[in-house]
Every structure is written in C-alpha cells, then in structure tokens.
Amino acid sequence: MPPAVYRRATWNEIRHRFHEDRLDRRSSVRRAVLWDEDGSAPGVAIYWIKGLRSAGLEDKAKWQGWLQDGEIPKGKAPLARDLSTMVVFDFLIGNWDRFSGGNLPTNAGQHRAFLRDNDRAFSTPLLSRRYDKLLDGLTGTQRFSEAVVRHLVSLDEASIRTELARDPSHEADPLLSDDQIADVMDRRATILSYIAALIEERGEDDVLFFP
C-alpha cells in the first residue's frame, strides 16, 4: 500500500504546485475544498506510483481460486500474496469499497497489486450487509501470508494507539475513535480465529502458504 502522511496546507502552497497541464483546474479545486478559518485545509500526502494500470482485478473470478486450492500461474505468486493480504487488510479496517473500480491497480508487469483509496474504512457501525460481504471474502480465502499473520498476532490496542499518537492532529482531532479501535480489535480476533480453525483442519503449510 502506498505510504500516506497527514498534511495541512494553505491554498497558497497548493496553487504553486499544479502541473502546467492542469493550471486551468485551479479555480474548481479551490472551490471544492472546505477551507478552515485560518485558510488551511487538512489532507494527505500519498506516495505516487508511476505506471499503475487496471488489470481487471475487480473480477474476483480471475484470481479467487489462487487463494483457495487452485494452481497459481507462473510468475503470479507475488500478486496472489498481495490479494490474500488485501482480503485480510480490508476485513481488518472494514473497507467495503475495494471493488467499485480503480481501487485495485497493478504495475506494468501485472505481478503486484497496490491497495489505494481506502477512505471507506472504519465505518462505525459497519452495516451488516457490508460486514457480511467482507466476511465472505475472508472465509473464501484459504491461503495466507505467514508474515501478515505474524504481524496480526502482535497487533494490540496499545500499538494502535501509539501509532495514532504520532499524527500531528491527534490531540485535537484523533483519526480513530475508541469505538473504531474496538471494532478493529474485534475484527482482528475474527481473522485469527478463522485462520486458527483452518490450520487445524488443513495444516499450517497449506494455510500459511505465502511467505
């Protein structure tokens, strides 16, 4: 997932950074932003990845078998691992908008997936139909990354709060509420419970299939 860092900027800072081919859009952007009284607006700086393209990954039928017991095409193991990690990540954060189009691009070689546009995450409460859809994605997956599971085991509420406290706006406007953090921890428990049951049924080598 591309790194993203909180930023607060003024219009003066933004207007000078438009690409020369987009200067005609400055007025519409300025009108669209909700500026605070001091003339600034909160935002995020996201690492730009060149060469991203759609490979039709929104069609899960193309790859879902790779995450079960199907054969993974030659050279596609890293992509399959990314997609397995995506299923875990989206369930953990409650991101129900992955497959609306454009949120799952790949690189030129089509051997990695990049998870972007995660702004529908952390809904509290998460509607039951959206939760059920995410749960279907999780339980439809039988191959996971050993490293991802290891990190998930070590994740706790204290580590989440420590990381959130690094954000410059934390004191005035925390990124996550207590309810949102509690929901994350509940979904974490569900993921680990499912994987543990799967390991008991199928064996660790089959379930922790990816590095």
pLDDT, residue 12, reads: 92
**Domain range holding 18?**
4-46
DSSP character for 113?
A: B
pLDDT, residue 7, reads: 84
52: in domain: no
| Separation between Cα atoms, residue 100 and residue 58, nearest integer Å | 8
Q: Radius of gyration over alpha carbons of the chain, in Å?
A: 20
| Separation between Cα atoms, residue 10 and residue 129, nearest integer Å | 39
pLDDT digits (tens, 9 = 90+) for 5-46: 888 899 999 999 998 999 999 999 999 999 999 999 988 888
- Structural domains counted in the chain: 2
155: in domain: yes
The residue assigned the tokens 């001091």 is 38
Q: Are residues 105 and 20 in the same domain?
A: no
Read off the pLDDT of each residue in 164-178 and give the average, rounded to a whole number.
87
Q: What percent of the chain shows pLDDT beyond 90?
A: 71
33: in domain: yes
* The two three-digit tokens of residue 171, written as one number: 């004191």
CATH of residue 200 = 1.10.1070
Q: Are residues 17 and 118 in the same domain?
A: no
pLDDT, residue 107, reads: 85
Q: Are residues 97 and 189 in the same domain?
A: yes
pLDDT, residue 101, reads: 74
| Strands of 47-117, DSSP E | none
Taking the complete model, does pTM exceed 0.95, yes or no? Answer: no
139: in domain: yes
The set of residues, in sequence order, having a beta carbon less than 8 Å from that of 17 and lying 6+ positions away, is: none
pLDDT, residue 119, reads: 85
Q: Are residues 92 and 155 in the same domain?
A: yes
53: in domain: no
Q: Are residues 22 and 109 in the same domain?
A: no
| Separation between Cα atoms, residue 103 and residue 189, nearest integer Å | 26
* The two three-digit tokens of residue 198, written as one number: 């799967």
